[in-house]
Structure formats: structure tokens, C-alpha cells
Chains A and B, each alone.
Chain A
Amino acid sequence: MSVRVGVVLFPGSNRDIDAINGLTVAGAEPVILWHEQADLDGVSAILLPGGFAYGDYLRAGVIARFSPVMRSVAAFAGRGGPVLGICNGFQVLAEAGLVPGALLRNRGLRFVCRQVSLRAEHLDTPFTRELAGAGPLRMPVAHGEGCYFADDATLDALEADGRVLWRYVGEDGEVAAPDERANPNGSLRGIAGVRNAAGNVAGLMPHPETAVESILGSDDGLGILRSLVVSAREYAQTGELSGVRAAAAVAAS
């Protein structure tokens, strides 16, 4: 039985079709969740796709945060459901405070659209569990505000807590510093994606959903979407997720 995974559609989303295709290739049944609906239609995971929600007015992602669907997404995340935000979806999650940090204007000021290499930092999470054995992952970025920022204390805590999930790496496989070309936006400590304290909500700037078939130039992104779909299936069947922490443990930390 295929599992239902929601794709949130804001006015200005433009990677929703790619997300739907990627989830389909990964074995899920995608379900569009319109931004004005509060009902999540029985989905077992949620993907926030890329684009320019509400025109990115004011700050990327901020106005989307106040939409009816996002209140339901926040509640779903609070119940432990898996949520993945990609690109603009990451910006929405960051503005909503569902994942730590902020995405600043790219250090080079330009919109950057090209292939990058990523390294998954942990393979025991709901978003990386199908990446075992994979080398650096090739997939595109396409954004103007993707420079990951958090203060040093927060960055230290994220690293110590295993919450940095993906980093930009150079051809040598080493983490790309903010001023290196392999780091497309100047992200601190090469961070391309992070997750929340509980571990069930993650955001990343690059686009795994447009790297799911070799005809697209890379299928390295498929493992991330398959991880989400496996997690959705697990959450649908058990109401829980592997690789996350109980709410009580998070509250105590």
C-alpha cells in the first residue's frame, strides 16, 4: 500500500510538480495540501517544496508561516510526524521556528543555480536512513537566500547534538568553507540542512526532488525522498519514528 505524503502548495510555490514526481518515484502517493486548508487529508509525512511562497515578500518564508496549513503542519510536527522543507520550504520552516537558524541573502548576492555536492552527516535519521553507502550527493541548488546562519553557540549545540544533517563539500569530500565555490551561498560551517531538537523536522536548501532520475542529470536525491517515504510508512503504521527523540527528552534538554 502506498503511503500518503502531503506537498504543501503556497501561492508562489514552483517546485511542487518536481516534489510530486520525486515522491512518486520514491514510492509514495503525493497529496497536494493547499495553503488555505487546515485539514491534512490523512497524510503521514509532509514536504514543503521550493518556490517563492507569497512572493517572498518581506522575508523569504515569513508570510507563509501564518497560513492555515502551516498551523496544521506545526501541530503535525508537534505530534512527531516527519516534515521536510526543501529550499523555500526550509525558509518557511526556519521562519516558523520549526527548525533552528535563518537563511540569509547569499554571500555573493547572486541567485545561484547549479549542481553542488552534499555530504550526509548522520544516517540514522528519518531523512537520511536510505543513504547508507552513498558517497557525496550531487543535486542542484537554486536560491537567492540560502546562507545558513545561527550564532556560534547555536552552531556548536547543533553539531554536538547531531542536528546538522547535510553539508556542502568540495571535490575532495571536505566541508566547503563559506568563501569556497563548493559552498554556493556562504553558509556557516558548510551547513546545507538541519533538523529540529526532536529530530522529526528537517530543512535543506538543495533540491533532492529534482535529482531523482538519471535523465535529470542525477538520481542522488532519491535516497533523501525514499528516506522520507520510509519514515512516512513507519509513522503511518506505528505512530512513531526511528531516529528521533521523545518529546519529554526534548523538553528536558
Chain B
Amino acid sequence: MNLLKGVPMKRRMKHVGIGFRKDFAEDFFEKEILTPAFIEAAPENWMGIGGYWKRIFERAAEQYPVYSHGLSLSIGSPDPLDWDFLKRVKEFLQRYDIKIYSEHLSYSKCDNAHLYDLLPIPFRWDAVKHISNRIKDVQNFLERKIAIEIVSYYTPVAAEMTELEFINAIVKEADCNLLLDVNNVYVNGFNHKYDTKKFIEGLPLDTVEYIHMAGHEQVEPDLIIDTHSEPIISPVYDLFEFTVNKLPKSVPVLLERDFNIPELEELQNEMITMENICRKAWSYERAVA
């Protein structure tokens, strides 16, 4: 077995990738159960390190295309952008030839303190302007468009517009791409009682560059927390199928699993389910080609 080649291309998926986690990194190489089209990594977890984990990441990056999903940009923060951080992100993206860099439409730093979680931004017009300008600044600096993820949230804060208006306004104003996390839309629809299909139809679907899928946990009768710790449930697959059929083009799809990591066969089965949905929805691309 040649470890540098990884799973042969023929066995790999076409559309679906996996969030690369230290918890299963060794099994990922040794067992070759997962056959992703690509891997996704948070720059914060892999840049500026050496030793064992650097070797592991380099091995993964030699074998698979890498997409990147950031944690600490805090694009929605009142605080200034951290240019030193962005410089390192840029180096990381260049070093590993990473084609997609996405971040969360939220804030994780405020009053000069990192919070290590995603807080809800007030859906307000001044926030639209503020965030759009910051996204433009980031895009100019990185010399690429970035994809902004619709995050799950459990309470609005001082909203003067709907979530959908807020997202649409930012994507338009910033001229950025959208990371459509289907599970987050499901979670938000449940928590805030809106029609998720109408919500998705209302998004600028031509800007969707990337899709995320994950599991969640219902903690109260009327509240779901986006935990990434459970298998994806059927209604989320249904919404996913609805979504991919609405998109004007095929995009990469990611399975996120951060906690309560199961046997890799279980993750592979989830990826296969999504891959089959994608192939069915996007078969016209093969026909055209």
C-alpha cells in the first residue's frame, strides 16, 4: 500500500468531502474506509505547528484537495480585523494550494477577547454595511472571494430585519460567495419556526460555492443545538436533496463531524447517501459534458 497515494481516485467520491479531524486522522490513513473527494481543514488548527500533526496534515494534503473553513476571523465583530492572523491564513492557503476559504457569518471575538464560539450578529442594516466592507477588505487582501457560512443561532439579538434579508444583503453588498450549511438552515427553521424550503429558495443560490451537512441535537422541545455530534437525520437529507436540485451548478459538499465520532463506516455511509443525492441531482452535468 502506498500511503502517499491514499484511496485510489476511482474509489473516491466526486462531490462529497470530510472535515479532517485529529480524532480520526490515523484511522483515516490506515483503514482507508473514507473515500472523500476532498478534505476540509480549519487553518487555526493546522497552521504554525510542527512535529507529528504537521506531518499528518502534509500527508493528507498530498493525497487530497484541501478546502479551508476558518474559525477565528470573526467577520461580524465590532473589533478591528486581525491582519496578522489573515497574513498567516493567506500563507496557509498558498502553501497548501487551497481553492476555497470559508468563514462564519458570526463573531467569535469581541472587546479584544476571543470567545471560541460563534455568537449571533444583530440583523441590522449598519451591521450589513460594516460586515460587507470587512468581507471586501478580506477578499482584497486574500486576492480571492471567500464563502460566508449561514450559521445556526438560538436567539436573535436586536434584529431589525429578517435573517434572509440580512444574508442576501451581505452577499450582494460584499460580492462574496455563500457557504450553505443545510443543517444550519434546518436548525434555524426549527428554532425560529420558518419554512426552510422557502428560506433556501430565497437565497442567492447562484453564489453558493460550498455546502455543509452535519448532525445536531434537540435539547428542548422547541430548541435544537448545532452540535456536529450526531448522525444526520432524514429531514436534513430531504432538505439537502431539495437544495441541490435548486442549485444552478454542482458544488462541493462537506460532512462535518466534530464530537462523538463514530466508526468510520458510519461516516462513510453518510457520505455515500449525500454522494448519491448529488449524482442524481447533477447527472445533467455529465450528460452535457
A and B found bound together:
no
Q: Which residues of A contact B (CB under 8 A)?
A: none
